[in-house]
Amino acid sequence: MKALGLVVEYNPFHNGHFYHITESKKETKADVVIAVMSGNFLQRGEPAIVSKWTRTKMALQSGVDLVVELPYAFATQKAETFANGAVSILEALHCHSLCFGSELGEISPFLHVNEFLIQKKEQYDMLIKQHITSGVSYPSALTSAFKELSNEEEMLDLSLPNNILGFHYVKAIYRQQANIKPYTIKRTSAGFHEQAFVSPTIASATSIRKALLSKEKPITQYVPKATFQNLGEYEQNYGLLHHWEHYFHLLKYTIMTMSNEDLFNIYEVEEGLENRIRKNILEAEGFQDFMERLKTKRYTWTRLQRLCTHILTRTTKKQMSYIGPNQESPYIRLLGMSQLGQEYLGTVKKQLVVPVISKLSTFQHPLLELDIKASHTYNMIFPEPLRSKTMKTEFATPPIRI
């Protein structure tokens, strides 16, 4: 069986994701679809709107055959580390292809840019450092360095979010010498961060979340029936859909009870930033207000949200160092599977060089401890006894079977 790999968040699963799966299977002629999905906290430093278990159900009910978790240590990182972790898992699972959505929709420019930057690596790295020294953010430095190096030659627009991620998937495949062929599908209708509904059937996850949280507009035409049902059941059972404001009191408490040294040891806190964090948390009236006070030209909103996530979970620089220099995942956490997914796993299981975890009690690793801690933090906003019940799900929930 040929396995297609996807790197996803499904926050929540919508019609655009269904289109991506359908077109990717056609393009790659795959038999089985494997999704590496972020857990309860996501790449932009946000809590997922519903838990990873509910999002796994959405995926399995909409065409995915195997869902595995991208560990917290990779899922809440910049694009390069995020991509390396995801690609390493897909390679370990013997995927023959990886297909990502992009603004461009053609794979050859991604391959060309990867080769170009390998050849110009020293100059590229030097230009990035120069731009960072001038006070701009890391993503802006990458974009500016690339534009200078390419002399504005028509290649690939690396200022667009999906193009950036796609480039890093291609780069990770090359870096790891993975036996994976990259493909890309053009994103349709809605932009990645589109805030409003601009199409009759396709909307961005951002606009869908906004509609869900505000209760102002229906989303039924933008999501599969399974997604709509799962979202409704989750809100009914747990009393909310997750967003950052729910966690602000926990974030504030964590910051106020940490010493400057403890705060500086948190992952992604740079020298001097701990003072800015402590000063602004005193005056902020909510998470949005805190972020607006904290943001500068040098630190992007996304970077600061990730930092807040690491503070909330008390994730230290030392704990993140267990990622290792190769930035490859040391395990595969199984979240769910269809019958076809189970059959595929059975065919490759003896060839796997990375352990597959279906029960937490069978494996130990510092990065897995981070996953467990992140899950507990995610559930801390619930009242008792619901909080204790949800915290047990991390250990008690077996892989979902559809």
Dihedral sign for Cα atoms in the order 336, 341, 346, 349: negative
Tokens coding 85: 């972790």
Provide the token pair at 20.
């991506």
Task: Say if residues 252 and 244 touch (Cβ distance below 8 Å).
Answer: no
162 is in an annotated binding site: yes
267 annotated ligand-binding residue: no
- What does the alpha-carbon distance between residue 251 and residue 244 come to, in Å, rounded to a whole number? 10
Q: Is 234 annotated as a binding residue?
A: no
Instruction: Consult the annotation and say whether 379 binds a ligand.
Output: no
Do the annotations mark residue 168 as ligand-binding? no
Name the amino acid, one letter, at 141. A
User: Is 245 among the annotated ligand-binding positions?
Assistant: no
314 assigned to a ligand binding site: no
Tell me if residue 337 falls in helix, strand or coil: strand
Check the annotation: does 269 bind a ligand.
Answer: no
User: In whole angstroms, what is the distance from residue 374 CA to residue 76 CA?
Assistant: 11
11 labeled part of a ligand binding site: yes
Tell me if 182 is assigned to a ligand binding site.
no
Query: Which long-range contacts (C-beta less than 8 Å, at least 24 apart) are formed by 357-363?
Result: 357/331, 357/332, 357/333, 358/334, 358/398, 358/399, 359/398, 360/394, 360/395, 361/395, 363/331
Q: How far is CA 113 from CA 116, 184, 322, in A?
A: 5, 15, 30
Q: How far apart are CA 370 and CA 304, in angstroms?
A: 19
Does 110 appear as a known binding residue? Answer: no
Residue given tokens 């949200």 in the structure block: 305
Residue 275: CB atoms within 10 A of its CB come to 12
Task: Tell whether residue 310 is among the known ligand binding residues.
Answer: no
- 299 appears as a binding residue in the annotation: no
**Known binder of ligand: residue 383?**
no
**Residues paired with 34 in a beta bridge:** 5, 66
Q: Is 198 annotated as a binding residue?
A: no
User: Is 228 annotated as belonging to a binding site?
Assistant: no
Q: Annotated binding residue at 16? A: yes
Q: Give the residue numbers of the binding site for ATP.
A: 7-20, 101, 162, 187
Q: Give the residue numbers of the binding site.
A: 7-20, 101, 162, 187
